[in-house]
Amino acid sequence: MKALSLSAIIGVVLGSSVIYWLELDEVGAIGLVLLLCLSFTIAIGNFISRSNAKGT
């Protein structure tokens, strides 16, 4: 659960800086934040499952 909240925070921070940089509208901004959160969640999930597999 920690990894999920961490990925959400990273996604929001990166998303907001990219939104500011690109000056996106609200719909594009929300989509971008969701996409970033999802990709970070998947990446961290893969990392966790890999480290769990190494442990066994």
Domain range list for the chain: 2-48
Q: Is the pLDDT confidence value at 1 over 70?
A: no
Cα–Cα distance between 56 and 2 in angstroms, integer? Answer: 22
How far is residue 48 CA from its own chain's centroid? Answer: 15
pLDDT of residue 55: 64
pLDDT of residue 34: 82
Cα–Cα distance between 2 and 25 in angstroms, integer? Answer: 30
pLDDT of residue 17: 78
pLDDT in tens, 4-52: 777 777 777 877 777 677 776 777 777 877 887 788 888 888 888 888 8
pLDDT of residue 56: 58
Instruction: Give 6's contacts (C-beta < 8 A, 6+ positions apart).
Output: 44
Are residues 11 and 29 in contact, defined by beta-carbon separation less than 8 angstroms?
A: no
